[in-house]
Amino acid sequence: MLGHIFRSRLSQFDFEVFETFIPPDHLLRQALQVIAWDDFEDLLAEYYSPDMGRPPEPPEMMLKLEYLRYQYRLSDRQVIERGGTDIAFRYFLQVNAHIQLPDPSTLCKFRGRLGKDGFRKAFDKIVATAREHGLVRDRLRLKDASHVIANIAIPTTLALVAQTRDKLLAAAEPFDPVCAEGERINIDLLRESTVGQGIEERLEARVTHLREMLAWIDALPVPEDASSNLAWQRLVACRQLAHKILNDQANPTAGDKTRSIVDPEARRGKHGEWYDGFVVDILVDADSEIITQINVLPAGGDEAVDAVQLVRQEEEAHGNDIEALSMDGAGFNGPMLQELEDPEGLAINTFVPPKKEKDSETFTPEEFVVDAERGSVTCPAQQTSRYRQRNSRDRGWMYRFPRTTCEGCALLSRCMTNPPHGPFGRTVTKSDYEAEYRRARQKATTPEYKEVRARHPMVERKLGELLNRHGGRRACYWGTDKVLTQELMAGFATNVKRIVRSLCAPTPALT
C-alpha cells in the first residue's frame, strides 16, 4: 500500500454542479460508473515507494489523466488545462472545485515510473474488467496488424553514417580523449579531401573512417564498474549501433536496416506503401469487440511468431483458454500453425487463408512418396532420389534425382517443363509442415471457415479506431517499448469506450 496520499473530497456544491451540467449518457459519467477505477491504485502501488519522498499524486487520478489524453487526443499540457475548466473532466477525475491539477510534467514522470510493464498491467486490468462484466468470451479471437509511423526524419545514407560516427565519438571521448581529439582532426581532413567528389565516393570514405574508428574503440579496456557505469553502457550501445550501420552498408540488399540513429529500432516496411516505423499487432474478441492483447514490432516483424506471443500473453494474464483464432495470410505459416494447433500445447483451432497453389501440368510434390528410413522419395515412375539437403529456410527437405535418371525417363515431359541440365534432374521439396498446410487448405473449404472469415473485418475496423481515433497511427516516442506504451493506452481508451457502450447502464442520481 502507498503511504499518505491527499485525496479530494467532493462537496454538496460539487455534486449539484455535476448533476446539473453532465448528462446521464456522457461517456465519462458512464465510464466512472461501470469501471472500478479504485482497483487500479492497488495495481500501480508497486511502482511507488511507500516511505520515500513527498506523498505522490493519486495513481488512479494519473491513470485517468492518461486515459483522457488518448480518449480525446490531447497533449500533457492540454489535458491538464482542460481538466481545470471542463466540468465532465473534473467529475471523472473526482476533484472538487478548489483542487488544482498537477503540473503537466508529472504525467511524463508517471509514464517513466510505470514503463511498458505497468501500462500492460493496466491494459490487462481493463480487459479483466470486461471479462468480469461477462462481455469477453473465449470462442474466437481475430488477429490483425497495421503500421505505425516512427517519430523521426529519415536522413540520407551519407548523413546517417556521419551521425553515427559523431555519436560514437562523443560516447568514446571519456575513455580515450586523446584518440577522440585525433579523430576530430581526421574528420576535418576527410571533409576537405572529399569536397567536390560524388556521393558514392564520399560515402565510401566515411564508411572506411567509421570502420577505422571502431578498430580502436572496440579495443578499449572494459572498466571494472562496467555494469553500473552509465557512460560505458552508452558507449557499448553506440558501438553496437555503429557495427549495425556498417553491416547494413556491406549488405545493401538485406532487410532489417537501421533507418535513423534517433530511433534505431524503427525499420523500413511496406503496408500498401513503404513507410518507416513499427507494426502494432492486436487480438480482438469476436463477440464483444474488446481488444484483448496488443504488441508492437519493428516494421517487417514476423507476425506469425507474434501471433503465438499474443495468445500466450493473453492466456497468461487471464488464465483463459482461447478456442479459435482467425488471422490473415501471414498466418499460413507452418511453425505457427503447428504451435497453435498442437493438442498437447495451445490447442487452438486456427483459420487462415491458404496460399493459392500454382497451376502446373507436371507432377506435384504430393505425388512423390517419402521413405523416411532411407531419406529419399520415389517418383511416379518408381525411380528413387539419390541426394537430399535442407532447404534455405530450414523448413523442409529438398530431394534430388540424378540427371541421368530423369533423361531416360518415359514420364519426363510430365515431370519437368524444361530438359534437365547440370548434375541433377528433378528436385522435389517436402515441407516439414505438410500436415499443417493440408489441414489449413481443407479447413478453408468448410462452412465454419466462411463464417469465421465473415467476422474478420471487425478487427480491421478496430485497428482503424485504435490508430486513427485514439492517436496510435503516429509514434509519439522513440523505441519499441515506448511505442508499445502508447499503443497500450490507445487500446485502453478504445476498450473503455466499448465497455461503456456494451453495458449502457443507466446513471443514478448523484448524492
276-332 pLDDT per residue, tens: 999 999 999 999 999 999 999 999 899 999 999 999 999 999 999 999 999 998 999
Alpha helical stretches, state H, 262-380: 303-318, 334-341
Query: What is d(CA 54, CA 70) in angstroms, rounded to the nearest whole number?
Result: 28
For residues 130 and 196, which has the higher predicted lDDT (pLDDT)? 130
Q: What is the pLDDT of residues 382-409, one digit of tens each?
A: 999 999 999 888 888 999 999 988 988 9
pTM recorded for the entire structure = 0.86
| pLDDT of res. 52 | 63
φ/ψ (deg, to 5) at 430? -115, 115
C-alpha pair distances (Å), 338 with each of 307, 357, 493, 503: 12, 20, 34, 38
| pLDDT of res. 378 | 93
Mean pLDDT of the chain: 90
Query: What is d(CA 55, CA 5) in angstroms, rounded to the nearest whole number?
Result: 5
Mean predicted confidence (pLDDT) in 72-76: 94
280: left (phi over 0), alpha (psi -120 to 50) or beta: beta
Instruction: Determine contact, residues 40/496, Cβ cutoff 8 Å.
Output: no
Radius of gyration for the alpha carbons in the chain, expressed in angstroms and rounded: 30
Q: What is the pLDDT of residues 468-490, one digit of tens each?
A: 999 999 999 999 999 999 999 99
| pLDDT of res. 95 | 85
| pLDDT of res. 283 | 97
Cell numbers that stand for 193 in this block = 579531401
Instruction: Determine contact, residues 128/121, Cβ cutoff 8 Å.
Output: no
